[in-house]
Structure formats: C-alpha cells, structure tokens
Structure 1
Amino acid sequence: MSDISVNDDNVLDVALSDTLGDRYLSYALSTIMSRSLPDVRDGLKPVHRRLLFAMRHLKLNPETGFKKCARVVGDVIGKYHPHGDQSVYDAMVRLAQEFAVRYPLVDGQGNFGNIDGDNAAAMRYTEARMTAIATALMEGLDQDAVDFRETYDGEEEEPIVMPANFPNLLANGATGIAVGMATSIPPHNVGEICNALLHLIKFPNATIEKIVTFINGPDFPTGGTIVEPRESIIRSYETGRGSFRLRAKWEVEDTGRGMYQIVITEIPYQVQKSKLIERIADLMYQKKLPLLADILDESSEDIRIVVEPKSRTVEPEVLMESLFRLTDLETRASLNMNVLEGGKLPRVMSLREVLQAFLDHRQDVLVRRSKYRLGKIEHRLEVLGGYLIAYLNLDEVIRIIREEDAVKKCLMDTFSLTEVQAESILNMRLRSLRKLEEMEIKTEYEALEAEKAGLLELLASEDLRWTHISDEIKDIRKKFGAKTELGARRTLFADAPVVDMIPVEAMIEKEPITVICSHKGWVRGMKGHVAIDDKIKYKDGDKPKFGFTAYTTDKMILVASNGRFYTLGCDKLPGGRGHGEPVRLMIDLPNEEEIIGLFVHQPGKKIMVVSERGRGFMLDADNVIASTKNGKQVMNVEDGKNKVAVCRIIEDEDDHVAIIGTSRKMLIFPIDQMPQMNRGRGPILQKYNEAQLGDIISFKAEEGLSWPMKGGKTRTETDLTAWLGRRGSVGRMPPHGFPTTNRFS
C-alpha cells in the first residue's frame, strides 16, 4: 500500500476513542436539547415551537381562514427546522388530533386521522390554522417577552421559548426518547392546573398532598377511568416518576329476558380501537375468553364497542375483569417529568417544581413586557412633549421650517428639543395642525403618564406582579376551564372493583381431553375422554407410558428423575391427530433425565416422592406447582445419584404405606411415620444393601393390599401382620405369587 501524503496543518493527532466520545456527546446533546425533551416553561419541543411560529407569520389566526398544511410545512423546514417534511407534518397532525392532544394547538380541516390508527391525508390536501390556545402561548411575542436566536442559516430569528400564557406542559403533556433518558408526561385538566397555580401563588410552600387536592390526576383526551390509589398518585407527583392505572369506561345495557350487554364508551389513551378489537377477537379464537360470546364495533363519531356475555349468569364485573387483564382495555400511563429546566438542563421535576417553573417564567415575561411597554410609553411621551411645544409656538416653528437651512438643529436649539422630538415635528402632517388634535394629544399624554406610573409601581412591587399573574390565570381558567365544553374533565376516578381473583381456569374453555405420553416423551391431548387401548398409535420404536383423562382447565404435573416437578397447562398440549410433540420442547428437562410421573394436579392432595435408595417423604400437592419452564426442585439429588424412582398421589383414606425393593423384601408401616417436607432428601423408608427401590404405594389397611396377578386377576391380602414394621426396617419376603417385577400395579 502506497504512502499517502497529507498536509500536517490540516491533521489533528487525536485518539479515536476521544473523537468518538466527542461526536457521540454532541449527538446526545443535540437530541436532548433540540429534539426530544420539552421546555418546562412552555411545554414545547423545538419542532412544535417552530410550527406555531411559522403559522403566526402566515397570520393563521383562529379568526382568519385556513391555509394548506404543505404551505406551513414548507415554511417550517425552509426557515427554521431543517428536517424531513413528513416528520414535521406528523408533528403538526398530532397537534390537531382531538384524541391525541387534550387541548389542540392546531385547528385542522380535512382528514387528520382517527382513533382507529388511520393516517392523515397528505399535506397537500389538508388545511390548518391556529387555535386560541396557540395564540395564548405566543401572547406578547412582539413585546420582547422572550429572547430570540438566529435560525440555522442565520437569515432570520426564532424564539428560544414561547411567552406561554397557558400551562401547556401539564395541560397537553409530552413524550420523547432522547439518548440515555426519556420523558413521559400525561395531559391534565387546565381548570385544575389553574386552581393549583393560584394556590401556589398564595402559599409558595404548599405540599404535594395539598396540590393534589387541586390536580387530582391526569385528564386524558379519550377519557377513561383512573383506578390508581391516591397514595400512589401523590408519590408519583412527589418524585416525578410513576404510573397511573387507566381503564376503559363501560356500562351495562339491559337487552330483555334477563340478558344484558356491556357497552364500552371510552378506551384508554393512545390505544388504537381497531387493534384493540382485533386483539379481543384473537383471544376469543384462542378460547382464552370463555365468558365472552361476541364483540361488535358500533362506533361512529363516538366510541361504542358492544361486548356480549356467553350466558346471563356471567357477572359483568367478572367479564370485564377478564378483559382488563388480557387486553389494552386497561393500560398504565407512565409519568416521567424529565424536562429542560431553563431550556438548558434536563432534570426530573416534581409536580410542585413544574408549577413553580411556569409561574417563574410568567413573572419573567411580565417584567420584560412591562419594561418593553414602559420604553414605548417613554418614547411616545417624548414625542407628544415635542408636539405640545410645537402647538404653543406654531408660528415660530413654521418660520424656522420655511427660512432656516439647518431646520432640525435650529428647532432643537430654539425650543430645547431632543432629536426625537425635532424629527417627529418635522414629520407631522399638515392636517394635524388643527386645534382638536392638540386636545387629543393632551388627553393621550395624561393617559400615558398614568399608565407609566402604574407600570413603575408594578415593576417595583412583587406582590402586584403576582396579583397580575393571578388575574391572567383566572382569565385562562374562564376561557378553557371546567365550565367550558373543551375544559370539562373527561377522565374520572374510581376504585378498582373488588372481584375475587379470577383463576386461569376461568379464562380457558373447559373441554374433556385424554392425555397420552409415550416412553420417549412424546405428549398429546386427544379430544374427549377416549379409551386408552391398542388403537392409539405411536411412532416406530416407541410405546405407551402414561395415559389418563383430564380437562383443558387442568394443570398437569410432570416428575423427573432429577427431583424437579414441572407444570404444564392441559390447554397447551398439542392435538391428538399426530403423535404429539416432545415434552422436552415445552419444559427445560435435560436429555439424560427420565420422566418418572405424569398426572393431573389435584389441589389439597398429598404426594409421595421416593428415591432409588429408598429415601422419601410426602408433601402437599399445592407446593409442587412451578411457574417457569425450569420447574421446581422438590427432592434433592446427590450428584446424579439417588435419583427419584417413584412419585404417587396419596388418597385421603390411605393410612398405611407398602414398600418393596429389588431384594424382594416388603415392608408396611403406618402413613403417619412418613415425614412431610416441602423439599429435601428425606429419611430412609426401607433399608437396602445392594438393592434399590422396586415400588411404593399407599393404601387403606381395612381394604387390604392388592396387586395384579397373571391372567389379569387381582389378589388382595388382608392379613398384613407379618410385614408390619417401623419405617427404615428391612422387611420380609412378599406373599406367595407377588409379581417378579416388584411392582404393586
């Protein structure tokens, strides 16, 4: 490879890691500051701020006509926001969607999408203008209320932040993902925000508990019902992080003859109605909503989703609880008030800090607007003072204008005028020299003097400024508060209904099945309770091992030689048309371990588990349920030795245990000598030298001990005195004719 010569003056010798770090830091800062996080003062991101500013320049006020959205987007990306037109249009569309924004900032005309998730029409077809709330956000923009900065190309200027005569951050909320941080602020009710602001002005040290009495919680544009406990809401607002449990709003309609239907009128925020109904229909197809008969979408402009129960005996609360658990009819709205403090520092704020930041911003805006107005008044008073001098000396002024060469200087010297006054006199129109004009000037002068005195008093008194801000907030509350159609609270509060825990079985349709498991571990669930006989087919080289009847609502327990108990839902078993599927694909069962037992879980029963070396114990069946594919360790196995050999269910009437080893020694002892444990190795139940466990069974002594004989007959021995002993004994030879397999069944 040939050497490449470079100009050393243009080359910096830096470490690659340092360069990458600097570049990534620049990207992260740009994302955080200029894209993803809103400013705590006006609640806007740069793209939203530039959209509104461009619409203001186009004079798209609420009382004027609409203009094409393409015109607005063109101005935004051409003058202020050098990004893709589609991203800018998407941001504009969202500001106009009543189901996405609690207080829309854009008044759209045309197709701006819907709650089903359909997209808006192309920007060349839609039109828009600002709402009254958008104009309130920019009120005072021409009065030096905020600082401006150069646009990206340096040709124009744009505001760093809006004056924000509207608490937009909390009212409309914000979401965004930056680098290493994110924000999620749900919308709130403006009337409640105004009440909290007024209280905070009066009591600056108000606690979160007190503020939450005014701001009860979020107020979503799509309504719904919040069922979050008040303590949790207070804690979320206090830390700036948390979530709110939001449910759909529903009601019961009587359809006659004892039947009813449930009508869902409001769905949670940012849930697409079409996908919600599709999800419910899919769950019905999977038979996971057995209480539900049908779901219909009868929505027009208002949401109306009809849910029909399977029978009149189904409680509406139980049916809805099952839907809340499995679908987006219940969601969690997150709260992460990560905002830009002063437009520079990202920080998670509490509710009180966010409200105080808005009030401080309004204080700054008021001072700047007052100083700006004061400067304009002083300039006008200076001009009016010159006019009055000109009227008092009108003839001399006319003479100087007609005869002198340096007119401005002569006027300034003769009447002690300022340059501004002299210039304004020279720019007067002849029609202004009438007597009436002089009277009007005196009236205006006196009014401006009074206004100036009021502004000076306002700037000198913080209490007066807070009173002025309170009046502004009251005006916001009057325009957009609870007494208006837009400001009425939509999201209600309620306690979650007390419904008994719905078991998983209630979510599954109960159907009879026959469970078949082969010697190689292929399992299947055949429909119906069928006979387990030679008609059941297996793969070549395979043979039957376990077979029993069950229902799809049952749980199945699999016991492995490693001492672990696995739980399988009978509704999840493969169908019986083929040979089934390997059970090892459903659970984490190592290939070297064998399946010792497979049976239906029976709550309240006792289970007996015994190892090859004759150690064992019994435990409650409720303690063997596993929640993961990895199962639950019940019997401890010593480095692969002393593996589990037998696992049996103990019937309630059983009072004795019979155990036999491969040494052909049988022992019977009372069942109360069998220890009960939740996990362990267990004590010795029968002593062996070189032998191992053959089989173990529990039985009722009154009925005797039974075992199979050749020819399909069964023998029952009632006199068992010879084999009775204590647990851990050796035992003696079994009765004549006992199977050579050393098995009781």
Structure 2
Amino acid sequence: MTDPVLDIQDKPLSEALGERYLSYALSTIMSRSLPDVRDGLKPVHRRLLFAMSQLKLDPSTPPKKCARVVGDVIGKFHPHGDTAVYDALVRLAQDFAVRYPLIDGQGNFGNIDGDNAAAMRYTEARLTDVAKALLEGIDEDTVDFRGTYDGEGEEPIVLPSAFPNLLANGSQGIAVGMATSIPPHNAEELCDALSHLIKKPDASIEDLVRLVPGPDFPTGGTLVEPAASIAESYRTGRGSFRLRAKWEVEKLGQGTWQIVVTEIPYQVQKSRLIEKIAELLAARKLFLLDDVRDESAEDIRLVLVPKNRNVDPDVLMESLFKTTDLETRFGLNMNVLDKDNVPRVMNLKEVLQAFLAHRIEVLERRSRHRLAKIDHRLEVLGGYLIAYLNLDEVIRIIREEDEPKKSLMATFSLTDVQAEAILNMRLRSLRKLEEFEIKKEHDALSAERADLIELLENEPRRWKAIAKQIAETRKRFGKATTLGARRTVIGDAPSAIIIPLEAMVEREPVTVFCSEKGWIRTVKGHQADTTDIKYKDGDRERFVLRVETTDKLVVLGTDGRFYTLGVDKLPRGRGFGEPLRLMIDLANDAELVTLFKHRPGRRLLVVASNGRGFQVEEDEVIAQTRGGKQVMTVGDGVEAKFCIPVEGDTVAAIGNNRKLLVFPLEEVPVMARGRGVMIQKYTDGSLSDLTTFKFADGLSWKSGDRTRVETDMSPWKGNRGTAGRVPPNGFPKNNRFT
C-alpha cells in the first residue's frame, strides 16, 4: 500500500497560525456572533425562521414539534449541534427574553427563574406575526439567496424585514476581538423615528432621541439613566443604561408596611436574585431588611419585609440597589454587520438609515419582480386573445399538424411563451376565453404595470410607499396593542440618597483594643474592666476605644499618612487579633502615631517632631483605600508626632527643654495638606507635648491622681514660633499634659 500524498507547505509558523486564526475570527464574526443591521438576525436565527416558513408554520396554522423544526434546520441549513439550535429557538419564544417574540411556543419553554425548557420532543412551535413581517416578500426576489452548506438547496442571505428587528429585539454576542450588545426598544417609537428620518434625512441624534427616549425591556423595570447620558450613548453607539426594579410600598395597617417588587431588571434570574438577597441577610449585611418572600405566580411579586416600620423605604431600596441585581447596567455596543458584511459600530441614526436603505431595496426588487410577472401574464393573455379570435383554426392546427407549436407561432406570429400557453390550455378553459374577460384582465395588469414603472422611476413616491409600510407596522405592533405597550418606565436619575452605614452593618457596641506593636481586635460590648485582656509576650496595651460597629477609625502613621478603618471590618474575639499592617498599607519604616474614632465636622491639629504643624478638617483626612491619604509632608529625620482634636481657642506647647508656650489657635492655619508652620522654637530640643484649651478656663494637666488647673496663663502667652517660658510650679517632670 502506497503512502498518501501529503500537501506539505513550507512557511513560518507565525504566518500559518495567523492565517488560520484570521479565518476562524472572520467565521465567528460573520456566521455566529454579530447580527446583520438590516434584519437584526444572526445566521442561526435566520435559518430557523426560514425553515419554519418552508414548513408553512404560519401564525394561523397548527404548530409542529420543535424536534421536527430543529431537524430541518440542522439537516438543510445549519449543520451544528441540535442543542444549540434548540436553545436559539427557545430564546426566540420566551417573552421575558425577547421583547417581540419571533416564535410562538406551545409547552414548557422555561421561565424567568432560570428553569430550562422541556425537551424538543415535548414542545411545539410556529411563527408569530412579527416573524411573518420579517419574512414578508421572501418569495418575491426581495433578497439574495446563496447555496446551503451541502449545495442541495438555497437560503436567504438576509430577510426582507418589514419590522425594525435589530433595535426592537436587540442582540448580544461575543466574537473574536469584538462584541455586540444592543438592548430592545419599543417598536412604535422606532417607527416614529423612521418616519421622522424619511421626512427629514438630516435629522440630528437629539431629534431621534426625543422619539426613542430609551430601551424598552421585556421584563419592564425603570430606566434611571440621565437623559444626557442616553443621548451620548446613542450618538456614539457605545454606552450603558442603568435599570432598576419597579417597586411600591404596600400598607398593611397599624403603621406597618412592606415593599413589593413587581418588575425586575432584564436578564436577571428571579431565583438567583432572591438567593443573593438571602445570602446578604444571612451574612448580616442588610440590617434594614427582615425577610424576603417570593409570592410570584404568573406575575412577579417579591415581598421585602423591613426590620421595623420606622425604616425609610427609599433608604432600604437604595441599599438593595447597591448590593443586589435589583439594579443592573445594560451595555450598549451597536457593533453590527453592514450590508457589505463589514463589522462596525453604528450610532442610532446610522442603524435607522441602514434599515430604511434595506427597505427601499426590498421595495424596488419586489416591484421589479412583480413587473416581470405582469409582463409574462400580459404576453400569455395576448396569446389567449389571438386563440379566442381564431379558435377554429387553432383547433385544426393542433389536430392536424405534426408540430403544432411551430405552426401556431408561424401562422399567428406568436411567441414561444404564447404558443406554449395555448397548447397547455385545458379544454374546459375554452368557455372562459371570452374577449371581454381577457381584455378586462389585460387592462388591469397594464395599469398596474404602468404604476410600477412610475414607482421605480419616482424616488419621492418610493419613500412615500416606505412611510406607508412603516405606518402600517406602527399600527400593527404599536403601543395600543398588548404586545407593543411600553413596559420600561423612563424615570428620572435617582437623587443622591445618603445611605447610613446602619443600612449595611448591624449597630452594636464594641471595644477596640490596639497594642503597642499594632495588633488590633474588638470585643463585644463596652468593656469597663480591661485587666483580663491578654497581649503577646513583650507587647502591651496602647489604645482602648469604646465605639459602635458603624463607626470609622482614623489612623495616623509617622510618615504623615492617614488611614481609615471600618470597625465592622476589624477581627473579633478574645485572641490577640491581627496586625494593623495587614489592613492598611502602612510603610515598613513608619509607625503608628495615633488611633481614634472619626467624628464628622471636627478639626484636628497635626504637628511633626520638628515643631511644624497645621490644622486640618477631619473629613479631609478620611481615606477611601487601604493605601491611605498623605496629609502631612515630612522630610528626612522628621516624623508626624501629634494629632489632637481641636477644642477651645488656644494652643499650649511644651518642649523637652521644659519651655511652655501658649498662643491663640487662630495663628495656626487650616490646610488640606503640607508641612505647616512653626509651633514652637527650640535651640536645643524638640516638641514634647501639645494640647488645646479655652483660654478663659485656664490650662489643666495631670499631677499624679489629681488634675491641676492654672487659670492665669498670661505669663506664658506669646506669639506662635517663640521659645516660651518655664512652666508653672508643679508641672509634671515628664513634660506631658496628660
């Protein structure tokens, strides 16, 4: 046995891979993932509808088993897996997945909970009126056909599409290096925009957006995207739409109430949504919510029970919108195949123009097809008329001549078509061949022929005909019908509702313990006795804060950087806790300066070891990330040393050279970031301690177990940046106020 001949090509691997990957990419883009801008369909959907039209599955005929449909599709047009084809068929029949279903399904076709459809042997299907509109004129040479994969038949390249399916039903797909995401829209609004574009071809995007204010999703909901953002998305062909569930407050009596969700965002599985809310409840992250129940039947009814009747419904829903799929974003990426099969992103106007251009081409081709039919019929009628006028001679020729066709053509100057029509005529038809009837049909067809010729030569009239077709589509699928009524409400952009942390975290008292080495933990309750709190060997207590789980903690490092921690995020238990450095990105060469509870609206005094400092609003030091926020600029050998709340109108500073200085607080500027100004001057020393107080009340300090107060601080009062004087008698030797 001889070896088979091998086609071995010598080429670089990169070139060979590139060619093959490009072929795969083009196949994916053109034959699987991107819709055609003219009919809004991908090949599998187009083949499904065409196969069903070949099976005569019209809206008025009984449905057939889906297995029969899928068999025809994969056998004649789409040689792929039956599961993929059936999944595509099922989706086209789901009224919660497709805004205007193209297939009328009988049986179990799945539900919004995410349950699958029954097997194809149990379900039946037929076309809907929308699908018939897409196929209207398919047999009248309105579109081009191509050979099927096996060459035994033909399939349409695109459907005539008397319905604006691309925008009405939307489309989603992921190709190689590109994707498409088009939300569904309301058919009546699209027809209004198309009519406007016919009247004013130079209409702006703004004009069209006034007619198409936003998507219209099958599952309803409320669109809360700002109008300016919607217009920009339609202008560029890219963007996103913010969609929320529709809800209402249901009064229960005695001041109690519950929230009922009646519509959920598009493509959100109801069962998964409820599971997510339940998970958040179990994780104690929705403490305004007490329970969630699914009371849905045919319609959606999700019941949300608040923790108590004093909860604000708007705040409760805002917390759910931020944490669950009760609010989603649907992307807009109008990446489609144009009439030349070139993928590109179109804006709203370009998509509508492409649809109108396709409808004009369909009208012209349909008119020319009808014209050819009329010409053929007129030719036949002319032959019938001659036969009627010379009936005896025609009968004689047919009975006596060996080649009657040629004799008829020669005797009466007939064409081949006319002679063939006369020979094929049945005897019973002779009684109908009356001159009056023939002339009547001939005149009617001649008038229709003249009208078609005038239509093909008159562009304004063609556009008028298209406008009439669009008006008929609008009436057929408009808002006055059950199918066409708008489902998604165009709402206002939500106002900035401030959600208190209590909405996300259960409020309870805890005590925070932080050691010298930076190990931090919380213990439930406000601990009065801390003697039983254990620390690692060589470590000891440094900070003890009695706070709530909804509070924030502010941390200052020696590098002048502030960090923010949520108390609810801190480790719990009576162990040693966790290192603070695992929770914030505190530099390795930086140490902890202070840790305190955040109080909004308060002002802080921050001072470095070299005596320079400034005031800063506490709200300005709050960091949003674990990387912190740089507030104090420190140089080499200088560290942030103090951060104290501002209380009173006077600053008292003492250095380790035992010099005390008192000066007005107003001499320290308020800054958001920087090095600050000199607080106290040192010849040989540095800042030891710092405090603020009310000058009229005097300065207090700890002396043993007692607190001493010096009411007359005039001798120590001076200007900021001066050296100061020796403190009063009895001032602590450690040069500390506390």
> TM-score over 0.5 for the alignment?
yes
Which residue of 1 is the match for residue 430 of structure 2? 433
Which residue of 2 is the match for residue 744 of structure 1? 737
The yes-or-no answer on 1:650 pairing with 2:646 is yes
Q: CA deviation at 1:218?
A: 1.4
Kindly report which structure 2 residues correspond to 1:556-635, keeping only aligned pairs within 5 A, or say none.
556-635=553-632
* 8 Å contact from structure 2 (residues 650, 662) kept in 1: no
Kindly report which structure 2 residues correspond to 1:356-375, keeping only aligned pairs within 5 A, or say none.
356-375=353-372
- Are the structure 2 counterparts of residues 48 and 343 from structure 1 closer, same or farther at C-alpha, using a change threshold of 3 Å? farther
Which residue of 1 is the match for residue 655 of structure 2? 660
SS at match of 2:586: coil
* 8 Å contact from structure 1 (residues 39, 343) kept in 2: no
State the Cα deviation string for residues 234-272 of structure 1 (Å, max 9, x = none): 332222223333222222222111222221111121122
The yes-or-no answer on 1:529 pairing with 2:526 is yes
CA distance in 1, matches of 2:625, 2:22: 42
501-510 vs 465-474, which moves further = 501-510
Which residue of 2 is the match for residue 72 of structure 1? 69
90-99 vs 112-121, which moves further = 112-121
Give the gaps of 5 or more residues in structure 1.
Answer: none
Q: CA deviation at 1:121?
A: 2.2
SS at match of 1:372: helix
Q: CA deviation at 1:650?
A: 2.1
* Partner amino acid, structure 2, of 1:677: M
Q: CA deviation at 1:213?
A: 3.1
* 8 Å contact from structure 1 (residues 103, 486) kept in 2: yes
Q: CA deviation at 1:487?
A: 0.8
State the Cα deviation string for residues 556-585 of structure 1 (Å, max 9, x = none): 101111110001111222223432222211
Kindly report which structure 2 residues correspond to 1:304-319, keeping only aligned pairs within 5 A, or say none.
304-319=301-316
SS at match of 1:265: strand
78-87 vs 401-410, which moves further = 78-87
CA distance in 2, matches of 1:20, 1:498: 53
Q: CA deviation at 1:552?
A: 1.6
Kindly report which structure 2 residues correspond to 1:120-519, keeping only aligned pairs within 5 A, or say none.
120-434=117-431, 440-496=437-493, 498=495, 500-519=497-516
SS at match of 2:211: coil
CA distance in 2, matches of 1:741, 1:550: 30
SS at match of 2:411: helix
Which residue of 2 is the match for residue 32 of structure 1? 29
Corresponding residue to 2:664 among 667, 670, 679? 670
* Partner amino acid, structure 1, of 2:679: L
* 8 Å contact from structure 2 (residues 205, 349) kept in 1: yes
State the Cα deviation string for residues 8-31 of structure 1 (Å, max 9, x = none): x94444333333333333222222
* 8 Å contact from structure 2 (residues 606, 643) kept in 1: yes
* Partner amino acid, structure 1, of 2:720: R
State the Cα deviation string for residues 185-204 of structure 1 (Å, max 9, x = none): 11111122222222222222
Which residue of 2 is the match for residue 699 of structure 1? 693
State the Cα deviation string for residues 21-57 of structure 1 (Å, max 9, x = none): 3333322222222222111111111111111112122
CA distance in 2, matches of 1:474, 1:530: 76
Q: CA deviation at 1:586?
A: 1.3
Q: CA deviation at 1:679?
A: 1.5
557-566 vs 105-114, which moves further = 105-114
Q: CA deviation at 1:737?
A: 5.5
* Partner amino acid, structure 2, of 1:276: L
TM-score by length of 2: 0.94
Which residue of 2 is the match for residue 87 of structure 1? 84
* 8 Å contact from structure 2 (residues 47, 73) kept in 1: yes
CA distance in 2, matches of 1:587, 1:435: 98
CA distance in 1, matches of 2:670, 2:193: 61
Percent of pairs identical after alignment? 65
SS at match of 2:142: coil
CA distance in 2, matches of 1:297, 1:617: 57
* 8 Å contact from structure 1 (residues 523, 580) kept in 2: yes
| Count, aligned residues | 736
* 8 Å contact from structure 1 (residues 318, 499) kept in 2: no
* 8 Å contact from structure 2 (residues 388, 434) kept in 1: no
CA distance in 2, matches of 1:729, 1:539: 44
Give the gaps of 5 or more residues in structure 2.
Answer: none
SS at match of 2:329: strand
SS at match of 1:381: helix
The yes-or-no answer on 1:687 pairing with 2:684 is no
CA distance in 2, matches of 1:267, 1:346: 33
* 8 Å contact from structure 1 (residues 659, 695) kept in 2: yes
Q: CA deviation at 1:107?
A: 0.9
SS at match of 1:694: strand
CA distance in 1, matches of 2:525, 2:77: 70
Q: CA deviation at 1:631?
A: 0.3
CA distance in 1, matches of 2:313, 2:428: 82
* Partner amino acid, structure 1, of 2:249: V
Q: CA deviation at 1:83?
A: 2.8
CA distance in 1, matches of 2:669, 2:229: 46
State the Cα deviation string for residues 425-445 of structure 1 (Å, max 9, x = none): 222222222256665444433
Corresponding residue to 2:18 among 15, 18, 21? 21
681-690 vs 348-357, which moves further = 681-690
* 8 Å contact from structure 2 (residues 654, 735) kept in 1: no
TM-score by length of 1: 0.93
Q: CA deviation at 1:128?
A: 1.4
